[in-house]
Structure 1
Amino acid sequence: MERSPPYKTTNLTREQIKALASNFPLDILAEVLAEKLGASPSPTPQTNRQWYNTDPAYERLGLNSPEQLRRLKRRGLFRPGVDYRIVGSEFQFHITNCLARLAELPEKRRIFKNQPRSRRGKPSTT
């Protein structure tokens, strides 16, 4: 007995296809697209990297823009040295720690305001 495919073979609109595709992990979509285009998918290296600059970090945290991530940091949601750090002139965010902070209930979050300059990446002189 022949099995039917697990999906309907109907004509889908572009919007419906995009909506379906948004539900799948990006690595799977990349693999399927590479197969369709005839390219060999490059293996994605598994890395233990946790600290990312603002632009790649906001996407990994599921935020809408880099400015939204900056606003959350300015409002004191993230802890200096734990959730973010300053490297050179760039802020870097620890993805796992930031995701944990974003998942906390708002009433249980401790807000970190008015961090002294020495606490924001520069060694204390006292």
Structure 2
Amino acid sequence: MINYYILDDGHDPIAVSAYEWSQWFENIEHRRVAEDYLFDSKIRVSTVFLGLNHQHWLDGPPLFFETMVFGGETDMLQTRYSTWDDAVAGHQAVVELVKACETPTDTDNALHTHSQSQVG
């Protein structure tokens, strides 16, 4: 059986019906933890709440959040987390990793970033 989750006001996952989940899940702003565009928007780092437990093994904590990289040398890098706070910290760590791994062709634009975050 699949369990569906949404976030409460404290950013903790709570189990809900499939209908409640589908209504809540329609708005990306409910799910977005953070998003950064790096190197003149050539690379995007996105961290979101998944709404499902992605821990596919029987042991270990539930995995509700995911950071992914789109573009660049670390394209498709993916990390998952159990809590909102871990996702916030993990997102920033991935942003720093991407910055360290890239070899910009235009050093003036190397660290041009645009951030959008729901931290709080």
TM-score when normalising by structure 1: 0.22
Decide which structure has greater helix share: 1
Decide which structure has greater strand share: 2
TM-score when normalising by structure 2: 0.23
